[in-house]
Amino acid sequence: MVRHDILQLLAAHPQEYVSGERISQQLNVTRAAIWKQIKALKAEGFEIEGQTKNGYRLLKMSHSLNEWALEQALTTTLLGRTLYLEDELASTNVRAKELAHLGGVHGLTVLAKYQSGGQGRLQRQWESPQGGLWMSVVLRPDLSLADASKLTLAASVAIVDALEELFQVRIGIKWPNDLVYKGQKLAGILGEVLGEWNAVQTLILGMGVNANFTRECLSAPLNATTLYEILGYEVDLNLLAATILKYLEKELIFLEKRAFERLRLSWTERAVGLGEEVRILRGEQVFQGTFKGISIDGALLLETEAGEKIFSAGEVQLRSKMSGYF
Ligand code: BT5
């Protein structure tokens, strides 16, 4: 793509002018075509200075999602190496499922700048305005169906670690898969097993992080926050996506080596509410006890007066005893 070739050329000479003539010769495109592409790049958020005499120079990379910039930021071997980035999709999970059915490879990653029908678990909605990180990865790991829930645990850990590395913020995991900052939801994960989990096992791992938008972009009743609210500046979404994929790949390698206990401990270290008195809601039933931790399958362990009880995600909701949320 000419646009990416121009970027590549400018990025190879940071802070320096590259003449229009040179770009035109090297890429075999007209000066008018270059100007058009530079305009498009600026609209994507790249800061490019153009001078009639000297040519163009790249001053700042874009913080919005861009295929080329994301590829530059990737350090993974498999995850994100096949990439689809769209301006708008109903849901990246739905698109990833379609691509998986068409033979999409392990690690194939779908991103959208905006989702018109973002999905949460159990048919719930996920609000996905512009500026967020809405990403789904197709995984065909060397694991069994029983291990599927471990992958969503791994995704939670990967997001927490990426945010800590990049922004030194400490995010908590609220069982099973809410990522929260001071009790407010910052990110969520939707893991979906595809079709039959036989010889080829496929799971779609959807990750949504509220990033470069204000709290007002989400509907009022949500107990939510965004990276912009926490940090006070816009983050580089390409770097964020690449760093999450880096940690996810690392967790996946451990999981495939059956190093499950390590993941359980990583998850537990990042969990909120451990050791606290909590209530578990299962339909009309309410259980009360101490949140002891999780089993390796991601089931919640609750110590009640009647002994230890185990709850798997999906069927129940966790509530702090005092307030609605942690
Ligand atoms: C989740 O569901 O938390 C999973 C969210 C997964 C979203 C990603 S984005 C990329 C991929 N493509 C998709 O279509 N989905 C995935 P759950 O635990 O069921 O939480 C859903 C609930 O969170 C909703 O019922 C709202 O109460 C709340 N919510 C909705 N949008 C939110 C947002 N942007 N931030 C915080 N909370 C939100």
Place of tokens 């926050």: 225
Q: What is the pLDDT of residues 192-217, one digit of tens each?
A: 998 665 555 899 999 999 999 999 99
pLDDT class for 173, splitting at 50, 70, 90? very high
- Read off the pLDDT of each residue in 86-113 and give the average, rounded to a whole number: 97
Query: Could you give all domains of the chain from N- to C-terminal order, each with its CATH number?
Result: 2-60 (1.10.10.10), 67-269 (3.30.930.10), 277-320 (2.30.30.100)
CB 227 near ligand 1, within 6 Å: no
- Give the Å distance between the CA of 261 and the centre of ligand 1: 28
Asked if the model's pLDDT at residue 324 lies above 60, the reply is no
More confident residue, 95 or 276: 95
CB 127 near ligand 1, within 6 Å: yes
Closest listed residue to residue 5, CA positions, set 59, 84, 49, 33: 33
Q: φ, ψ for residue 22 (rounded to 5)?
A: -65, -45
- Read off the pLDDT of each residue in 279-295 and give the average, rounded to a whole number: 89
Asked if the model's pLDDT at residue 71 lies above 70, the reply is yes
User: Which H/E stretch holds residue 100?
Assistant: helix 92-101
Within 8 A by CB and 6+ apart from 283, the residues are: none
CB 152 near ligand 1, within 6 Å: no
- Read off the pLDDT of each residue in 292-310 and give the average, rounded to a whole number: 90
Q: Is the dihedral of CA 150, 154, 160, 161 positive or negative?
A: positive
Give CA–CA dist 78/166, Å, rounded: 21
Give CA–CA dist 213/218, Å, rounded: 9
Ligand 1, atom 23: closest residue by C-alpha? 126
Average pLDDT, the chain: 92
CB 149 near ligand 1, within 6 Å: no
Asked if the model's pLDDT at residue 35 lies above 80, the reply is yes
Give CA–CA dist 29/134, Å, rounded: 34
Give CA–CA dist 78/288, Å, rounded: 43
- Give the Å distance between the CA of 156 and the centre of ligand 1: 13
CB 97 near ligand 1, within 6 Å: no
Residues in the chain: 326
Asked if the model's pLDDT at residue 81 lies above 90, the reply is yes
pLDDT score recorded for residue 69: 94
Give CA–CA dist 181/171, Å, rounded: 5
> Measured from the CA of 112, which atom of ligand 1 is nearest?
10
From residue 15, alpha-carbon distances to 12, 55, 241 in Å are 10, 12, 25
pLDDT class for 1, splitting at 50, 70, 90? confident
User: At residue 65, what is the residue type?
Assistant: L
Query: Could you tell me the pTM of the whole model?
Result: 0.93
Give CA–CA dist 298/287, Å, rounded: 18
- Give the Å distance between the CA of 130 and the centre of ligand 1: 15
Place of tokens 């912009």: 228
Testing ligand 1's pocket by substitution, the residue of 86, 93, 126 carrying the most ligand atoms inside 8 A of its CB is: 126
